[in-house]
Amino acid sequence: MKYKDYSSDIWAAINNTLDQVLKEQENPVAAFDADGTLWDIDLGETFFHHQIDNKLVALPADPWNHYENMKAEDPRKAYLWLAQICQGKSLAEVQQWAKDAVKAAAPIPVFSEQRKLIQLLQSKGVKIYVITASIKWAVEGGASLMGLEYDNIIGVETEVQNDLITDQQKGVITYRQGKVEALLAKTGGQLPFLASGNTMGDFNLLESATHLRLAVSAASRDDKIFKTEAELAQNAVDKGWLNHRFI
């Protein structure tokens, strides 16, 4: 699919603000959500399907419904569970699964304008962080698509001991306000000058940005995230944030 480019007004706002920020800060930070913001796919759920299809971890009967039911009750618990099911596996092995899942789903529908934006920011010395409610290891599999490294990805994860994944939660759950808390923990308290996301799950992250907030969307009306994308887009309009629909 061919996605719509950013308008000249959006690029002007980005470039003008970037010039201003570079005069104010030595090492500015920019923050992005992952799924639905950088690419038109949910890599976290793609990874889980890959685990199910290839019987890579021990799972309950009807694992997808088990996950959906848990998410309906408490999303944070469900997102953590997706990391906990990797317990006992080596980190290297799980990271390879993530690469395999991305390869199996190729071509990944990347939003080229977001990649172009990230490349611009990197060329100016801006530190990029991707904060996802998916497990960190799943999204790491797509990092290279945006010219990023594993260290750029912040997500749900459990402790790793002797290279083996445990079931013990590591850090905060990167969902809603947890995204901001995890970012600040990574940056030593530095807020992003720019933040971009696509759903209300990213609202707090966008609000945390000091200069620019960019809401994006691409879901069709029959997509499960259409409503929450539309709500974030309306907030962007009401608050005077940047807002772009890719389709």
| Segment 73-130, tens digit of pLDDT | 999 999 999 999 999 999 999 999 999 999 999 999 999 999 999 999 999 999 999 9
28-57 residue pLDDT tens: 999 999 999 999 999 999 999 999 999 999
Q: In percent, how much of the chain has pLDDT > 90? A: 99
Say if CB 214 and CB 195 are below 8 A apart. yes
Domains of the chain: 8-41+106-160+168-245 (3.40.50.1000)
Q: pLDDT at position 1, please?
A: 80
Whole-number Å distance between alpha carbons of 42 and 20 = 34
116-137 residue pLDDT tens: 999 999 999 999 999 999 999 9
pLDDT-derived band of residue 186, with 50, 70 and 90 as boundaries? very high
pLDDT-derived band of residue 152, with 50, 70 and 90 as boundaries? very high
Whole-number Å distance between alpha carbons of 208 and 210 = 6
Q: In percent, how much of the chain has pLDDT > 70? A: 100
Exposure string (b/e) for 150-184, b if CB count within 10 Å is 16 or more? eebbbbbbbebeeeebbeeeebbbbbbebbbbbbe
What pTM was computed for the model?
0.96
